[in-house]
């Protein structure tokens, strides 16, 4: 009887070790996270990127490597605490990297120019949003643009629509501004229709033109 009890205890302890180690690792990662340092890393990488000559696709390997480092840093923001710390630490006037946050502070987008024009990917956008007490990272595709604002509106069905205001360059060298709408459904980000109601200055209007 004692032998069986000992065996069961050993097996139970063996199963608990991985979970305990995982929890301890997550806790350590949370404790070590420094939002200001993370933003500084992104700024420094962006400065390095902007200092490279891209004429005739020069320095492409280094450009790809820097962009990959930036992507990994952003996509490593996986907890609500990390996201909230970033939101609190970010100051548009102090940082090189673009980061816009919704008014409900549940949704944010990092945007930067990748310098990968010769590969057809000149701008990178990564959305971070809260879903079931964690943070999900999702790349935004479609027409490349730099986002400069996010607003949110609650719908009658209980869903929140996030309106992303962006600016992109036209073929004539002018800048166009537009709004894209997204919703979060079952933890996934999906494009949505722009609500019909809303004030133009809040970003609900159709595409505008800017000299």
pLDDT of 85-95, one tens digit each? 999 999 999 99
- In this prediction the pTM is 0.78
CB 108 within 8 A of CB 125: no
Range of the domain at 103: 33-210
Return d(Cα 167, Cα 179) in angstroms, integer.
Answer: 9
Number of domains in the chain: 1
Judged against a pLDDT cut of 50, whether residue 170 lies above it is answered with: yes
Least confident of 18-27, 39-48, 58-67, 177-186: 18-27
Tell me which residue of 101, 35, 110 sits closest to 67, measured CA to CA.
110
Answer whether residue 18 is part of any domain. Answer: no
5 inside domain: no
In which residue are the tokens 């009890």 written?
Answer: 5
Q: What is the DSSP letter of 132?
A: T
Residue 91 lies in a domain: yes
Distance CA 151, CA 108 (A): 10
- pLDDT per position as a tens digit, 63-106: 999 999 999 999 999 999 999 999 999 999 999 999 999 999 99
Sorted by sequence, the CB contacts under 8 Å of residue 198 that are 6+ apart come out as: 153, 204
Contact 69, 43 (CB under 8 A): no
């Amino acid at each position: 009887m004692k032998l069986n009890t000992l065996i069961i205890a050993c097996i139970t302890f063996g199963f608990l070790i991985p979970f305990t180690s995982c929890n301890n690792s997550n806790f350590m990662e949370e404790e070590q996270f420094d939002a200001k340092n993370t933003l500084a890393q992104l700024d420094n990488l962006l400065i390095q990127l902007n200092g490279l000559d891209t004429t005739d696709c020069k320095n492409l390997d280094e450009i790809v490597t820097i962009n990959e480092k930036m992507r990994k840093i952003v996509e490593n923001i996986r907890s609500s605490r990390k996201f909230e710390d970033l939101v609190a630490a970010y100051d548009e006037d102090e940082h090189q990297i673009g980061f816009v946050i919704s008014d409900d502070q549940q949704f944010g987008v990092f945007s930067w120019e990748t310098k990968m024009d010769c590969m057809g990917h000149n701008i990178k956008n990564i959305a971070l949003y809260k879903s079931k007490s964690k943070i999900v990272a999702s790349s935004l595709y479609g027409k490349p643009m730099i986002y400069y604002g996010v607003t949110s509106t609650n719908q009658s069905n209980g869903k929140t629509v996030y309106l992303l205001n962006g600016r992109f360059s036209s073929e004539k060298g002018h800048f166009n501004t537009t709004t894209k709408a997204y919703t979060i459904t079952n933890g996934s980000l999906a494009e949505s229709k722009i609500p019909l109601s809303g004030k133009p200055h809040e970003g609900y209007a159709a595409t505008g033109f800017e000299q």
